[in-house]
Amino acid sequence: MSEETLLYIALFSPIVSSLFAALFGTVPKRVFVGVVTSGLIGLSFLSSLALFIHLQSGSGVVHVQMFDWIMAGDFSVPFGFLVDEVTVTMMLVVSLVSTAVHIYSIGYMEHDKGFNRFFSYLSAFVFSMMFLVMSDNFLGLFIGWEGVGLCSWLLIGFWYHKHSAGWAANEAFIMNRIADLGMLLGIFLIYWTYGSVQYDVVFSAVSEADGEILTWIAIFLFIGAMGKSAQFPLHTWLADAMEGPTPVSALIHAATMVTAGVYLVIRANELFALTPEVGLFIASLGAFVAMFAATMALVNRDIKRIIAYSTLSQLGYMFVAAGLGAYWIALFHLVTHAFFKALLFLGAGNVMHAMNDELNIMKMGGMRKVMGWTAILMLLASLALAGIYPFAGFFSKDKILEVAFDGHYYILWATLWITAGLTAFYSFRVVMLVFFGKERYKDFGFHPHEAHDYMIWAMVPLAVLAVIAGFFEHQFVAFVSNVLPVYEFSEHTHHMVGQLILVTSAIAITGIAIAVFSNMFREGVFSSAFRNTILFKLFDNQYYIPKIYEEVITKPYMELSKVFWEKVDMKIVDASVDGIANILRSTGENTRGMQSGNLSYMLRWMAGGMMLILLFAIVYTYSDVLLNILQGVAK
């Protein structure tokens, strides 16, 4: 099978999967829909794997142009796709995680009336992300970019009968549209500067542009990335997106949507490398978001929101690496994070199902006795998230800290170091409160049970990769270095690596120890005294940012809209349109008689018409005389 055929299978299998599920969208649930769609996503993964082996063998990139897409004057964009080392890495992550999520969803959604519709949306989500990462130009990337935005709206608001789900879907969609305006401006500037939106053309001539133009392009592109990857201040949608089904959360946080922003910066690395001031801003914002999100995760009681804040925090780590020029390290953390984050969300889905969709971790406890496999899998994922050796998160997260230290950005390093301790603490706070300690769920009348076997088996590959993926660090950097620059550490940092790892591991272990021991001696970890402090309330209320947005933006906008509706729309626009319609209607009513066939009535109309014609003729003939008369009167 040719590489071109493999590319088409990898790209188009998900959309075939989506259309197949859509054919059964209005009929009762069909389990075979879930099986067939999962198989087609699995086929996409196998094709991606075959392309990976092709590239690994050194056979070169795969680049196909199907047809001329847009031809307008000098503007030409082919419908083309590129599979290089960075692309195939993303393809493998997206398709592998998506396959696991699809199989898992067969059990998770088995009692939902929208079973078929869900799989149609989910597969379309995968197709949009594959289109995004495989496109060979910025415009194609933007089409996929908007596709994942649309599918996220459909999936976050999947249970549209719930007001909260509809609101969360709209929030995500609108916030991303705000950011996408910035990205569009960046793409327009790219074409205006280079005369093309093709990656190879733009990146080969990237240094020829004026420095100020390059800076603006980088800024606009990053604004787009901020929305997709939920960076401050466009971050609030990410936690609210938990209103969607849990498999959707796993897909959004691990393989699609939020990783698109990081991918954009990595893909456009040649451009960002020439704008170090923008890169430093990206890194600084990333470090801030890492700690900002971690503090909110510390005190939250909603199991899905805690994991969502964790994603926000880890995205901050990725942007620190990308902003400081360590693009392969940012991609490496994106890959390792995908495995343990998808595992955490799917484990949370098991817990929710067992608890009749209850999310409050304070109503759980001791569940390892009835959910042993889920407890083990979430424990492995939490160890990876905390960055404990030899789990995958240890290798990728420590590399980011080393990059910050190597660049003498000690404030960034300290911020990430503290965040590592907070991450370990809140990760094991969840583990302890859900799976250990007193069986609090009995007090609330719950009877938890383990998930279906095939749901557990769908999680196992993610668990294995969350454990071993870090050991492939050297093979990974050798593979992607054909596209991405290799970050060179200084000799001083090489000598300090052991100490840096020891310091980072120490704070992570300390965070775990505090979570474990405090839960053993005091249920709930936090004392009542701390829960009454300003700091706790600040964290618990998300720094009051959603409240500020509501008071400063949402409410004034609603009031302004009401004024425009009542004063402008109703009294001016509607009144004008209605007035014109009324005039035309009354004119029609009054002139209807001329079509009645009544001879005397029609003669009157004829006489009136003749009088008007004669009057017009007189005025036209004697216009000069009349004008002189009027001028005389005026004098």
pLDDT-derived band at 593 (thresholds 50, 70, 90) equals low
What kind and span of H or E run contains 140?
helix 138-156
- pLDDT for the residue 261: 94
Rg (CA), the chain: 31
pLDDT band at 532 (very low <50, low <70, confident <90, very high): confident
Q: Which helix (H) or strand (E) holds 70?
A: strand 62-72
Decide if 375 contacts 344 (C-beta within 8 A). Answer: no
Q: What would the mean pLDDT of 203-218 be, rounded to a whole number?
A: 90
Confidence (pLDDT) at 601: 74
Q: Is the pLDDT of residue 129 over 80?
A: yes
Most confident of 144-158, 442-456, 589-603: 144-158
237 contacts: CB under 8 Å, gap ≥ 6: 168, 171, 172, 175, 176, 230
What is the C-alpha separation between 104 and 365, in angstroms, rounded?
24
> How many CA atoms lie within 13 Å of 89's alpha carbon, on the beta-carbon side?
29
| Annotation: CATH topology of 1-136 | Four Helix Bundle (Hemerythrin (Met), subunit A) (1.20.120)
pLDDT for residue 87: 96
Q: What is the pTM of this model?
A: 0.88
Number of C-beta neighbours around residue 481 at 10 A:
13
402: Cα within 13 Å, side-chain hemisphere: 26
Quick: pLDDT tens for 390-426.
999 999 999 999 999 999 999 999 999 999 999 999 9
The H-assigned helical ranges of 324-371 are 327-354
Q: How large is the average pLDDT for residues 370-384?
A: 95
| pLDDT value at residue 491 | 87
Report the interhelical angle of 258-267 vs 85-108 (nearest 10°).
170
Kindly report the average pLDDT of the chain as a whole number: 91
CA angle (462 as vertex; 457, 465 as ends), nearest 5: 130
As a whole-number percent, the residues of the chain with pLDDT over 70 amount to 98
Are 13 and 91 in contact by the 8 Å Cβ rule? The answer is no
Region of poorest pLDDT, from 99-108, 126-135, 304-313, 551-560: 551-560
Write down the pLDDT at residue 256: 84
The string of pLDDT tens digits covering residues 315-354 is: 999 999 999 999 999 999 999 999 999 999 999 999 998 9
Q: What is the mean pLDDT of residues 235-257?
A: 91
CB 470 within 8 A of CB 394: yes
Residue 522: pLDDT over 70: no
The pLDDT confidence band at residue 528, using thresholds 50, 70 and 90, is low
Other C-beta atoms lying within 10 Å of the C-beta of residue 16: 17
Please tell me which residue, 591 or 291, carries the higher pLDDT value. Answer: 291
Name, of 148-162, 571-585, 591-605, the range with top average pLDDT. Answer: 148-162
CA distances 539 to 107, 110, 237, 533, Å, are: 35, 36, 17, 10
Bridge partner list, 70: 77
Residue 105: which of 123, 80, 131, 78 has the closest Cα? 123
Distance of CA 416 to the CA centre of its chain: 23
How much is the pLDDT for 360? 92
pLDDT of residue 524 exceeding 60, the answer is no
